[in-house]
Amino acid sequence: MAKSQQTFNKSEKEKKRLKKREEKRKKMLARKEEAKENGKKGIPMAYVDFNGNLVDTPPDPSMKVEIEAEDIVLGIPKKIEGEEEEFDPVRNGKVSFFDTSKGFGFIIDSDNQEKYFCHVSGLIDEIAENDKVSFELEKGMKGMNAVRVKKI
């Protein structure tokens, strides 16, 4: 006689699957019975009021705000004439560290105390630690870099 192909593990998995299916069917029947008793049909509706909150009542049409398509701004807002922001590209600071053998250092901005990286390729004059310098900022790979650095 040949052995049965139905192992204990397979039969246990089959029992669990059938039990799960039966529990799911019972839950579905219980939900249907509850819906008949309470008179609810399906999922209740949710509305968004004029403040953006979820509510169960429809919003009042009189509270609706009309917005013209031309009033919607996509991107950076345009500058208003007469209101011009002055930005000085040349900044002043103090050299906090500079290694001449490696060719880099750091400059602390005197306005906002930010520390900026400075490479020897961005120097106009030779600098050393504690020198007062003027420089411009340029976006680098890891942040803003001080370029066109010269002594004051």
Residue 115 lies in a domain: yes
How confident is the model at residue 94, as a pLDDT?
A: 96
Residue 101 lies in a domain: yes
* pLDDT tens readout for residues 19-50: 999 999 999 999 888 888 877 666 678 888 87
Q: Which amino acid is at 94?
A: K
How confident is the model at residue 99, as a pLDDT?
A: 94
Contacts of 90 (CB under 8 A, 6+ apart): 134, 135, 136
Residue 3 lies in a domain: no
Q: Are residues 136 and 96 in the same domain?
A: yes
Q: How far is CA 122 from the centre of its chain?
A: 33
Range of the domain at 96: 90-151
Q: Are residues 53 and 94 in the same domain?
A: no
Q: Return the bridge partners of 146, or none.
A: 118, 137
Residue 33 lies in a domain: yes
Long-range contact pairs involving 136-139 (C-beta distance under 8 Å, separation at least 24)? 136/89, 136/90, 136/91, 137/89, 137/91
How confident is the model at residue 93, as a pLDDT?
A: 95
Query: pLDDT class for 56, splitting at 50, 70, 90?
Result: confident
* pLDDT tens readout for residues 65-107: 788 998 887 887 666 665 555 556 889 999 999 999 999 999 9
Is pTM beyond 0.75 here? no
- How many domains is the chain built from? 2
